[in-house]
């Protein structure tokens, strides 16, 4: 898969026949701590997370392999190491960061 293509985690099996509507449609991890987020509404945002990569919460994202693993999953962006989530951002946190609250 092209590393700049939208990446979305597979939908959980079972449950409702209707697909779950999620506010985050896809993510594209870019260079230098930038991440492009596509929302179901059609809006898009480029978030600079470089200053957060040195924090305890997001230090795992400094690894290129982990950074590239970003996936949209429900109302979250999650990053993985060895198939295990190591960091996440909620829809609400993304908007807070964009607004400069965090």
Give per-residue pLDDT as tens, 39-76. 998 999 999 999 999 999 999 999 999 999 999 998 99
Confidence of residue 95 (pLDDT cuts 50, 70, 90): confident
Q: Are the C-beta atoms of 29 and 73 separated by less than 8 Å?
A: no
What is the rounded radius of gyration, in angstroms, for the C-alpha atoms of the chain? 13
- pTM, entire model: 0.75
- Domains of the chain (ranges; CATH) run 24-99 (3.30.2020.10)
Q: Which ranges of the chain does DSSP label H, i.e. alpha helix?
A: 64-68, 91-99
The two structure tokens encoding residue 88: 């996440």
């Amino acid at each position: 898969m092209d590393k700049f293509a939208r990446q979305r985690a597979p939908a959980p099996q079972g449950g409702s026949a209707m697909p779950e509507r999620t506010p985050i449609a896809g993510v594209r991890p870019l260079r230098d701590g930038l991440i492009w987020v596509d929302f179901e509404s059609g809006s898009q945002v480029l978030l600079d997370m470089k200053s957060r990569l040195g924090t305890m919460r997001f230090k795992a994202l400094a690894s290129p392999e982990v950074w590239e693993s970003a996936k949209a999953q429900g109302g979250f962006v999650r990053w993985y190491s060895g198939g295990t989530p190591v960091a996440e951002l909620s829809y609400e946190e993304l908007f807070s960061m964009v607004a400069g609250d965090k």
